[in-house]
Amino acid sequence: MAAPFMEELSDYLGSPEPAVRLIFSILIGYPFALVYRRYFFHQPPYIVHLFHTFSGLALAAFNFGSQLYHSAVCIVVQFLLLRLMGRTVTAVLSSFLFQMMYLLFGYYYTATDQYDIKWTMPHCVLALKLIGLSFDYYDGGKEASQLSAEQQKGALPSVPSLLEVLGFSYFYGGFLVGPQFTLRSYLKLTCGELTDCPGQPPNSVFPAMKRFSLGLVCLAIFTIGSPIYPDSYFLTDEYEAQPFWYRCFYILVWAKINLYKYVSCWVIAEGVCILSGLGYNGKDSNGVDQWDACANMRVWQYETTPLFTGTIASFNINTNAWAARHVFKRLKFLGNKMASQVATLVFLAIWHGLHSGYILCFSMEFIIVTVEKQALSLVKDSPMLTQLSNSSVYPLIYCVQQVIHWLFMGYPLVPFCLFTYDKWLKVYSSVYFCGHVFFFAAYLLMPYLRKALVPRKGGNEKKEEEINTGTAQRREREKDAVWAGRETEREWRRRGGRTRGETDAVKERNVGYQKLQANKHKPWIETEYQGIVMENDNTVLLNPPLFALDKDAPLHYAGEICGFRVHSGTSGSGAAQFEAVVLDRSTGEGLVRSKEPLDCESQREHSFTIQAYDCGEGPDGVNSKKSHKATVHVRVNDVNEFSPVFVERRYEASVPEGRLFDRIVRVEALDADCSPQYSQICFYDIITPNVPFAIDNDGNIKNTEPLDSKRQRVHSFWVTAFDCGKNRAQADAQVIVTVKPSCKPGWIGWSKRVEYTPGSGNIPLFPNLHLETCEETVWNIQATVELQTGHIGKGCDRDSYSDRSVRRLCGAVRGEVDLLPPPSPAANWTAALPTLPSSDSSLVFSFNGSTHVAVVPDSVAAAVSGDHFTLQLWMRRGGANIQPPANQARGSHREEETIICSTVKNDDSFSHYSLSVHGCRLSLFYWPDVATARPVKFLWKLEQVCDSEWHHLSLSVQFPSVTLYVDGVTFDPALIHDNGAIPSPAPRQRLVIGACWEPEEKQKDIVNNTIPESKDSGRYLGGYRGLLSGVTVRPGSVEPHSVVECLYACREGLDFGDLETLGSGMKVHVNPSQSVLVLEGDDIESFNRAMQQVTYRNSLRFATPGVRPLKLTTSLRCFSEEGCLSLRQLEGYLVVLQPDAPQISLSGVGPHLARPAPEFEGPHGVPLFPELRIVCSLTHTVNTAVQGMEGGALMSDAVAHTLDGCEVQPLGEELNPEREELLVDIDTLRERGLDIINTTAYIAITGAESISVYEDVLRSIRYRLAKGSARFERRFRLSCSEMNGRLYHPSHLLASQQQFLHPSHHSGELSGHTLPNPHRNSVVPGAATVIIMVCVGFLVVMVILGVFRIRSIHRRGDGARGGSKESSNQWDDSALTIIVNPMESYESRMGTSGDTEGECEEEEEVVDSPGDSSDDQRIIIKKEGRDNGPRRY
């Protein structure tokens, strides 16, 4: 339904359908985000993961259909790599190679020279996500000190679950077009941490709507501008004919508009992320909430910056940041920043696709950025250019910058959008490669411009550096002097004080003395120290203590230690965290301390180096010497500052009742302390009293007594945890244990017996059925419902009309010839063939392979000549009471059995064909011309040929084309070959059914159509063993497939109620005969609803009653195959009840018809039934549900109101053709497709047609007398039959009994009816005569009833003695059988069918006397075996 809507929408918008689908999918992220905020924000994380996964999969299916499996495969493989390879470089490289190779192969197989929206578009975004996931998981295994700030934000401390990876990958806000974000951020979103209101959805609606509105503006600009400035214009001759300036201007405007395509998508997608909370980025320095965590565009910077680097920094931010974090910075081992930059650009070019345009675009980007950086450096270093950039003319310079910026921003964009070499080269040639010329020339000229515009620094620069260096040294000396001065003052005070002159003399003497002594030795310290510091303290206790020794001691300055320097070590610790101070200069004692209190949980061990230096040769520290570097290892001792925290606040479990379990659920608490002493959980405790549960030190909870669901269904209690420092958990955890009642898996609500009332449409077979799995996790369910109908008629319940009538109702082309008609004087070649009863009122002929052969007369065979014909038949191999011939040895190889063998005369030649079966093969041997052509044999290997079931075959021959339909399904020949040299059949037309003849000289003695046992049984070859029915041949064009399906169609079968209500993931399959229905699904609730919609339907108003066995077979597949459930097969039966007989009345015909003689003698005679009414007392409502059944649309309407024959019979003597006749319009009958048999004994109109048609035809029947041949009285009987004679509706009032008067006769009363006569000499019988005739008629009826009663009793005795012997012309009343005990199996009832038929013959025939005056008559069921029974039409 969505496809036509999207096509119409895309046509209306004038955009490609994939683009419309993409925009629609991005926009639908806003409703998804609102649903998440409203319904899933407070749900557990796994629920949120499921929502994100299925919403993303829905978007993928909507855009790419079944190709969504590409993303699923890559996600699963990535998860397996993380699980199996762990935090290794191999895992990172494997992920990188697999994801990139998969993406590149996708580009290779799907890429075209146009911009197509295929599955590779979101997959390139997904590839970066999954590669980044492998890097983040690898970083999670490193120490925090070894990671940068960016790496620490994305590092994963533990391996993610598959559900987390799926939700992260399919998140609707970034699946299709980005942005990129880390799994760490996504997990914070699912835990509800990314919000400005803790515990509540974020206040992000307004920021999201701002980005949404901005995105719509950008989308509108692109939508309006892209048709005006299309990509295709570059490749036109008109573009090349434009002046150079216009071609450049077109590139500028085109690039500006074309980039809005990306801007709009990214800004709208960013709004989705903001609305969901993923865009939350904390607060800035002013406390304002920031929502730019997923910003992929800085639109203001993008619109205003005049720099190429500014545009790049504001465009596709997250992708550029991803490339910088995971490619550029991780290539620092190359030692060359430019090499890392080139490698990053090459990666981005290949990531975009395999077209040459991407390589050229990113190479131009590298050149442009390089030249721009040199130009910016030149402006900065050049005073003139700096002054110019700060002058009042800068706005003009800015405009020029923008023109150059966007012109050459569009220049590399041309190959990016045109992809292939031939296209972008044509455009670049048209603008004379101006971009390449401009930037390469600028790159070459930049050094010369620098020389010309930047003044040389030379000596001034050096002097400035020396000044800066000298200033630093001077400051250091001043500090030393101050320190030395203080020392001198203390010394003066120690000595008791001197005069100022004395002091100056002492200073001069000391200075002179020090100059004489040199600093000869370096200080010495230990090579390694071990230190301990308590957590939250800063003093380090070293072992050994820190002392620095100098061999120049006790000299002043040279022998003293002035300080210690701390250098960073391998762990990253050093001067930033520790410092060392001198406690005593003379002794060299020192102290190491941390600048801030240390945290054991952040870093437990620190390593750095320390170095001592002396005071040099004087107060200014000149010629100071340093010791070697000593390694210091500091361990931070833990303090029990954290309490245990449970992993989950609530633990839930379900257990069956009545059992003791070693472990029901395991609770787990963690302690954030760094040492094993305080971080381990020593024991757990249940704090809720009087509960039947216990917990061990590992957190395993078990029950101490069997649980009873009736006594208490849910147990709720609280547990706590203690670490080894006796700290209790911050918050206790709740445990909920649900006790499940005893459960037995299987189907519940199975009804073994189902009753069906004919005409009731569809009925559900399992209205209350549902599957109980006892909470076993099942991922696939398959149920097979089998309805066994093989014992009903020809494999199932079909129409009860004759084969000829069914063909007409199915719309078959007329002109078929019945090769096995009912035996009659005109069709006596089937008289000797044994027949079997059939519930569908058709004759079934039995062939035993030897003596049963039907030889069709030449007059009939001549009607089916030609090389284009259609052969149709019902066939069943084997069959009841068919034994192999006596001359066939047991176990010997059976010969080919011939169904039909015919030689046909065609104009001036003869053709020959035979249809045979051999094993499970069906073969057609066809000889187009027995005189010249070679024969061809068509073979079909069919299981239907040898399964001993009824099958319908339709073989259409239009040589050399042959079409075979078996049960309405087409089969192609498995082998077609030439049989080689075969003796040509005799050029004589003949047609045999059940065998094929031997050469002409051997066939001399055929008695009718049966070979006597005493004769030579070898006269016919390949006798057929089995049952045949409805064998017809029609020359001419072949039958349509729909007609063949209709002829075979079963009117009963299994069906599914409403396919639109079928749940997601459910599948339904029904076989062609609708006897087997298979349901498959993965959700138990959906499966139960589907099972309750499995229905049985029978489109026949008069369905065949009886039992249809039902079987239900169930197969379950579980995640754990070893412990999966196994359900037994269920068996039941469907009982089709006895249908109500239709109450059809023949009315509107009076008992008398008196007309003047001239009217009878007129050319048209007198109509017999001018006011005939045929009324059906049952309301036949056509069930619309049956229209979906095979052939139901063709048959259901006709079945409701159809007759198949009516007969008008004169009572008494037959018609005298010289004096009287019945007139019927033959042309009208042919137009309506009806046949007529007009004899002196009766007139029969046959063919299945509606009641209204038969009314019109019967009203048109006229009776005419020859002049001078008027009769006083003539009686007629009108009778009609339905369903091939199964339902017989006679007029027992003799409603068509007519009395005819002539003026030359003087007749009185007749039959007690007073008839008005216009002629004076007419005689009407009196009332006495009427009374006498009624009494006599009643006496005759009683006598006849007595005779029939005696005969029926006598027949019952003969039937008991004769067993189950059946007459070939016995009436088939299987549809009228009354079920006494429906619980009885159908096999037992079939075994006693002979007795039932014998008992049914006791039914009394009701004969109404002519004196009855009622018009509406009830249905009288007639037996065909009786003398006055209806004829079979």
Confidence of residue 402 (pLDDT cuts 50, 70, 90): confident
Asked whether 921 and 945 are in contact (CB, 8 A), the reply is yes
Per-residue confidence band for 1430, with pLDDT thresholds at 50, 70 and 90: very low
pLDDT at 998 (0 to 100)? 73
- Taking the C-alpha atoms of residue 52 and residue 278, their distance in angstroms, rounded to an integer, is 13
Question: Which range among 211-225, 953-967, 1220-1234, 1263-1277 has the greatest average pLDDT?
Answer: 211-225
The distance between the two most distant Cα atoms of the chain, rounded to a whole number of Å, is: 193
Q: What pLDDT shows up at residue 688?
A: 93
DSSP 3-state assignment of 566?
strand
Better pLDDT: 434 or 944: 434
Residue 1273 has what pLDDT? 74
Residue 29: the pLDDT is 93
**Residue 744, burial from CB neighbour count under 10 angstroms (0-12, 13-18, 19+):** exposed
Mean pLDDT, residues 877-897: 55
User: What is the mean predicted confidence (pLDDT) over 169-196?
Assistant: 90
Q: Catalytic annotation on 352?
A: yes
Note the pLDDT tens digit of each residue in 1056-1085. Answer: 877 777 777 788 988 877 889 999 998 888
* Model pLDDT, residue 1274: 78
Q: Tell me, what's the pLDDT at 1295?
A: 35
Q: Which of 63, 258, 296, 316 is catalytic?
A: 316
Q: What is the pLDDT of residue 799?
A: 60
Percent with pLDDT over 90 in the chain = 18
Please give the distance of CA 540 from its chain centroid, rounded to a whole number.
67
User: What integer is the mean pLDDT of 752-780?
Assistant: 85
User: What is the band of 1348 on the pLDDT scale with cuts at 50, 70, 90?
Assistant: low
Alpha carbon of 999 to those of 210, 980, 986, 1050: distances in Å? 97, 18, 8, 42
User: So what's the pLDDT on residue 1308?
Assistant: 30
Q: What's the pLDDT at 1280?
A: 83
The answer to whether residue 316 is catalytic is: yes
Phi, psi of 715 (to 5 degrees): -110, 125
pLDDT of residue 1410: 36
Q: How far apart are CA 371 and CA 447, in angstroms?
A: 11
pLDDT category of residue 801 using cuts at 50, 70 and 90: low
Q: How far apart are CA 1309 and CA 1289, in angstroms?
A: 30
At residue 26, the pLDDT reads 92
Distance CA 783, CA 1077 (A): 8
Q: Residue 230 above 70 pLDDT? A: yes
Task: Assign 166 a pLDDT band (cuts: 50, 70, 90).
Answer: very high
Q: Is the pLDDT of residue 130 over 70?
A: yes
User: Between residues 474 and 1189, which one has the greater pLDDT?
Assistant: 474
Region 440-444 average pLDDT: 89
pLDDT above 50: residue 1415: no
To the nearest whole number, what is the mean pLDDT of the chain? 77
Q: Residue 669 — very low, low, confident or very high, per pLDDT cuts 50/70/90?
A: very high
pLDDT tens column, 234-266: 888 898 889 998 989 898 899 889 899 899 999
436 has pLDDT over 60: yes
Asked if 673 and 600 touch (Cβ cutoff 8 Å), the reply is yes
Mean pLDDT of 1262-1275: 76
What is the C-alpha to C-alpha distance for residues 1307 and 1300, in angstroms, rounded to an integer?
10
Query: Given a cut of 60, is residue 500 above it in pLDDT?
Result: no
Report the pLDDT value the prediction gives residue 301, as an integer from 0 to 100.
87
pLDDT tens-digit map of 1151-1182: 667 778 787 888 878 888 888 888 776 544 44
Mean pLDDT score, 658-666 = 90
Amino acid 840: pLDDT: 58
1007-1037: per-residue pLDDT in tens? 333 333 333 344 788 889 999 888 888 887 6
Strand, coil or helix: 977: strand
Q: What pLDDT score was predicted for residue 1188?
A: 40
Express each pLDDT in 459-479 by its tens digit. Answer: 555 445 444 544 445 445 444
> Which has more confidence, 1304 or 792?
792
Please check the confidence at residue 619 and state whether its pLDDT lies above 80.
Answer: no
What is the bridge-based pairing of β-strands 605-614 and 561-568? antiparallel
Question: Above 50 in pLDDT, residue 1383?
Answer: no
Q: How distant, in Å, are the alpha carbons of 346, 854, 1396 from that of 1001?
A: 93, 20, 50
Evaluate whether 1001 touches 820 at the Cβ level (below 8 Å).
Answer: no
Cβ within 8 Å of residue 337, ≥6 positions away? none
3-state secondary structure 994-1061: CCEECCHHHCCCCECCECCCCCCHHHEECCCEEEEEEEEEEECCCCCHHHHHHHHCCCEEEEECCHHH
CB half-sphere exposure, 972, CA atoms < 13 A: 1
Answer for the pair 326, 335: CB distance below 8 angstroms, yes or no. Answer: no
- Choice among 352, 436, 791, 1305 that is catalytic: 352
User: Hunting for tokens 């639908």 — which residue is that?
Assistant: 28
Asked whether 957 and 870 are in contact (CB, 8 A), the reply is yes
For residue 1123, pLDDT beyond 90: no
Predicted confidence at residue 1036, as pLDDT, reads 73
H-type helices in 796-873, by residue range? 803-809, 858-861
- pLDDT for 506-523, tens place per residue? 444 454 444 445 788 889
User: Does a cis peptide bond (omega within 30 degrees of 0) precede residue 834?
Assistant: no
Q: For residues 1425 and 531, what is the distance between their CA atoms, to the nearest angstrom?
A: 120
Residue 1287 to residue 1281: CA distance in whole angstroms: 6
Q: What are the pLDDT digits (tens) for 321-366?
A: 899 888 988 888 888 888 888 899 899 989 988 888 888 898 888 8
pLDDT grade, residue 748 (50/70/90)?
confident
**Strands annotated E in 595-713:** 605-614, 630-637, 645-646, 650-656, 665-666, 669-670, 681-686, 693-695, 700-703
Chain segment 596-610, per-residue pLDDT in tens: 888 887 888 888 899
Residue-wise pLDDT tens digits, 530-566: 999 888 788 889 889 999 988 888 888 888 888 998 9
pLDDT digits (tens, 9 = 90+) for 569-589: 766 666 678 889 998 888 889
Give the pLDDT score at 824.
78
Burial of 867 by CB count in 10 Å (0-12 exposed, 13-18 middle, 19+ buried)?
middle
* Percent of the chain clearing pLDDT 70 (strictly above): 76
Position 804 scores a pLDDT of 62
pLDDT at site 1369? 34
Give the pLDDT mean for 58-75: 92
